[in-house]
Structure 1
Amino acid sequence: MTTALRRLRNYIDGEFRDAADGRTTEVVNPATGEPYATAPLSGSTDVDAAMAAAEAAFPAWRDLIPAERQKVLLKIADRFEERAEELIAAESENCGKPIALVRSEEIPPMVDQIRFFAGAARMLEGRSAGEYMDGFTSIIRREPVGVCAQVAPWNYPMMMAVWKFAPALAAGNTVVIKPSDTTPASTVLIADIIGSVLDELGHPRGVFNVICGDRETGRLMVEHKVPAMASITGSVRAGMQVAESASKDLKRVHLELGGKAPVVVFEDTDIAKAVEDIATAGYFNAGQDCTAATRVLVQESIHDEFVAALAKAASETKTGAIDDEDVLYGPLNNANQLKQVKGFIERLPAHAKIEAGGEQVGDKGYFFAPTVVSGLKQDDEIVQHEVFGPVITVQSFVDEKQAVEWANGVEYALASSVWTKDHARAMRMSKVLDFGCVWINTHIPLVAEMPHGGFKKSGYGKDLSAYGFDDYTRIKHVMTSLNG
């Protein structure tokens, strides 16, 4: 007996629709490896319809006073809380994430972030008006950019959707967002929530649209003539493709791409506390986080003690079913990602040593054991490239100079952390580490008020904070004569 698959649909101009040509893809629960739904495989007709809806809705949404847009976002945040259990269920099935962790670690910050941007809607700051030429007054206007084409990733489908639509809507833009083809369920539910709020408050339905599909669908969105801005959270390869496609008509591009965060542990660190926090920050969400604490550099005098403690912590970390409250993380998101993580382990050089884990867990789904690999060199593949799995690598450094050289010696530059009791050293390191975020004696906390974004191949533009809000605006100079 087969179970009928749930049917997910696009959300365009306030209506749920199948793809125009009827094409679909199967959506797989990564905890079981079995399909549970189908989603539209959208093509050019669907993208055209979504962009037309967003374009038509833009003037009215743009012209709302900020207080009215704030009301909409605050009601969306309230509705997220009211329908939290639906969102949790959708995201757990989407990603195989433990239910308890989605409830405690994702819903509260998402609601907070929406409310933050609701406030930011009323903070359209610019330099004061003034006379910079005799007889003329200059004024700065800050305006929305227009329709935004947004592509969200599969590691945090709900939260990354919030990071994209909340600042865009707050600034007065309209949105067409595409979730990953492996995780569309929670974004479709978000469309239902936002659509109901827009209807209740009498705003155009096309303000927020969701298109399901694959990489080709995303390309069609980015290359479409309507959007003024393209925003993606994803791999470096995907970001480069988006930047290239957007360059054809000089669209604005906002890229949050990969990471390879160095975790620099000096010999004066409280080893037990550092290991506890680093293990959590490295294995949370199965290491599928561009800021994950998965590249550890440890001063040689404490290396062996640290590695032993970290291996023990890994052996005590649990992965498993979504309803097990003792589980720290669930499965990898999809079969391809499991294959990628396995490949890194299989290709380890002879000088590397697996201290813990290193293998798939269970006979169904895409679970992988908490893993620690030591004995690595700076140019090893697993040190230089993003694994995006529950694998923590450890290198041994001699002094501060070498720590900085190795920490900065990758193509990514998103996040980093320094572990030391020496305040002066912490300040020196925070200055020279070439990363968009430097945590000191912690790793991975984020707040709505502070920016998240990197340098180099980690992309450009900021999420969260007033800086993230600014990215969705444009600056206009208005000059008027004082002589009639």
Structure 2
Amino acid sequence: MSFGKKEYEFLKVIGIGPRTPGCYINGQWKGNGALVSSVNPASNQTIAEVLEASLQDYEDGMQACYEAAKLWMQVPAPKRGDIVRQIGDALRAKLQQLGRLVSLEMGKILAEGIGEVQEIIDMCDFAVGLSRQLNGSIIPSERWNACIALVCGNCVVWKGAPTTPLVTIAMTKIVAGVLEKNNLPGAIFTTFCGGAEIGQAIAKDARIPLVSFTGSSKVGLMVQQTVNQRFGKCLLELSGNNAIIVMDDADIELAVRSVLFAAVGTAGQRCTTCRRLLLHESLYAKVLGRLLDVYKQVKIGDPLEKGTLLGPLHTRTLKENFEKGIQNIKSQGGKILTGGSVIESEGNFVQPTIVEISPDADVVKEELFAPVLYVMKFQTLKEAIEINNSVPQGLSSSIFSRRPEVIFRWIGPAGSDCGIVNVNIPTNGAEIGGAFGGEKATGGGREAGSDSWKQYMRRSTCTINYGSELPLAQGINFG
């Protein structure tokens, strides 16, 4: 087991041991389900072991959470905001260690791992301000929209990804510490490490009014159908198949740097990764040549090492999917311009890949969760927009141009059909205060943003008659 290595000593600072219970239930850590291993994707060696939730653990946790909700929703919103502020401060104190854990367990480079935690901290700050702006109708109710859910008076039930249980445990320990410090029930934030069995239980549970799910369109559709059957609500953040359009007047160096960051960052494992690059025919060869040059400079290796730009894919399955995807690409006429192979090592490393292919190829319509970039040529803005909108997914998109008429058409009703429409910046990442989410097979969900809180609360129309008369709009007279 790798846990004893000196470079993993930081795990103790965030409460991770060689074998850790994976459920936070009613203020206690337990786990009566399967014993699973957390694996470092750079070496496929075990980091630590985690005890997952059993169905009885789930029921115990949900019952405690359901009872805690009655107390939490009565806490004034500004006070709830102060609790979230304390969570943000606690995360700041462990920013480096948590970021390092994200990098170690998931495989993204250290700068991105720290950036992920910083985004949660920023979300806490956003939610704190929001806690004093929940005005208008007064509505008590039942990710990391968890920050917004908490300030809106909801208890949170969190099932993290089954392949990153240590991140789930470390984050929950920080939240739990804040709740304990404020003499609040731990059940306000209930956590289960587990697989599909626990996920299905959450989707079916009528005690959970809103289910927020992030993952593939295929699984998201199953979750939505299950939740809809009990008249629950879903907030879905699903697949992305994002395009960058480079117009004939674009700043080429800016575009190339942006494409590299968006296509290679996180080894192509972001929902906002750039997967399709649309180049105007007049600069196709120039941009492509420049991009091939910078791809040769990408350092591949341990994501925790300084200077690494491309870490491993998260699991062996993703590595196998990459190999299958390359075969499909070739069978559909795709030409591999660089990369296209796995790297022989103990880890899940693959080469960053650029493919020249027709926008009509079936494989282009799918999301291959890997650093594979499809490059295609266009002649007119109209054609480029049609190609951008031709895939089932509709998350993020970007255009590089300096012409106002191009920009305003792109962001208007005849432009991109995505939820995120950028100009002269990459597709990946988003503003904390913006409404993050996408259309079509991306699920239609919106996280963060000034109006996001409305998804976490129940709207009621309350009419109070203070008089003794009953005026009827229909003019009915009961005599």
How high is the TM-score relative to the length of structure 1?
0.90
- For residue 242 of structure 2, what is the amino acid of its counterpart? A
Structure 1 residues 3 and 406, CA gap change in structure 2 (3 angstroms): closer
- The structure carrying a bigger strand percent of its residues is 1
SS at match of 1:71: helix
The match for 2:353 is: 371
1:16 corresponds to: 29
User: Which piece of structure 1 moves more, 39-48 or 305-314?
Assistant: 39-48
Q: Is the 8 A contact 2:435 2:447 kept in 1?
A: yes
- Give the structure 1 partner of residue 477 of structure 2: none
Query: In the aligned structure 1, how far is the partner of 2:433 from the partner of 2:342?
Result: 38
- 1:108 partnered with 2:92: no
Aligned to 1:260: 241
1:27-69 deviations in Å (ceiling 9; x for gaps): 2111111222222332321211121121010011101111110
> 1:444-463, aligned counterparts within 5 Å?
444-463=428-447
Q: In 1, Cα distance between the equivalents of 2:34 and 2:27?
A: 21
Give the distance between the partners of 1:23 and 1:364, measured in 2 at CA: 26
Corresponding residue for 1:464?
Answer: 448
Q: How far does residue 456 in structure 1 lie from its aligned partner after superposition? A: 0.6
Query: 2: distance between equivalents of 1:164 and 1:335?
Result: 29
**In structure 2, what is the equivalent of residue 120 of structure 1?**
130
- Give the secondary structure class of the aligned counterpart of 1:301: coil
Q: Does residue 407 of structure 1 match 2:417?
A: no
Aligned residues: CA RMSD: 1.7
* Structure 1 gap ranges (5+): 127-139, 147-161
Matches within 5 A, 1:317-396: 317-349=298-330, 351-374=333-356, 376-396=357-377
- Match status 1:44 vs 2:55: yes
CA contact (8 A) 1:178 1:211 kept: yes
Task: Check the 8 A contact 2:109/2:266 in 1, yes or no.
Answer: no
Shift of 1:342: 1.7
Q: Distance in 2 between matches of 1:411 and 1:48?
A: 37
Deviation for aligned residue 1:93: 2.1
Distance in 1 (alpha carbons) for counterparts of 2:185 and 2:358: 56
Q: Structure 1: how far apart are the matches of 2:52 and 2:90?
A: 28
Contact 1:117–1:469 (CA under 8 A) maintained in structure 2: no
Question: How far off its partner does 1:3 sit?
Answer: 7.0
Q: Which amino acid aligns with 1:468?
A: S
Deviation at 1:106, TM superposition (A): 2.4
Q: Does 1:480 align with 2:461?
A: no
SS at match of 2:102: helix
* Equivalent position SS for 1:479: coil
1:62 aligns with 2:62: no
Consecutive aligned runs of 4 or more in structure 1 exceeding 6 Å deviation:
1-4
Count of residues in correspondence between the two structures: 451
Q: Which structure has the higher relative contact order (CA within 8 Å, separation 6+)?
A: 1
Contact in 1 for aligned 2:95/2:118 (Cα 8 Å): no
SS of 1:295's equivalent? Answer: strand
- Distance, in Å, in 2 between the alignment partners of 1:305 and 1:99 is 32
Which residue does 2:190 correspond to in 1? 209
- Measure how far apart 1:2 and its partner are: 8.8
1:251-270 C-alpha deviation (Å, 9 max, x unpaired): 11110000111111111112
Residues 56 and 312 of structure 1: is their aligned pair in 2 closer, same or farther, counting only changes over 3 Å?
Answer: same
Aligned residues of 1:39 and 1:213 also touching (Cα < 8 A): no
- Name the structure 1 match of 2:223: 242
Q: Is the 8 A contact 1:8 1:37 kept in 2?
A: no
State, as a whole percentage, how many aligned pairs show the same letter. Answer: 27
Q: Which amino acid aligns with 1:73?
A: V
Q: CA deviation at 1:357?
A: 1.2
Matched to 2:407, the amino acid is: A
Cα offset, 1:230, TM superposition: 0.9
Residue 99 (structure 1) aligned with residue 81 (structure 2) = no
Match of 2:42 in 1: 31
Deviation at 1:76, TM superposition (A): 0.4
| Other structure's SS at 1:442 match | coil
Specify whether residues 234 and 321 from structure 1 end up closer, same or farther in structure 2 by C-alpha distance, changes over 3 A only.
Answer: same
Alpha-carbon deviations, 1:301-338, whole Å to 9, x = none? 11111111111121111221133211123111101111
1:125 positional shift: 3.1
- Does structure 2 retain, via aligned residues, the 8 Å contact 1:143–1:476? no
Give the gaps of 5 or more residues in structure 2. Answer: 5-17, 469-479
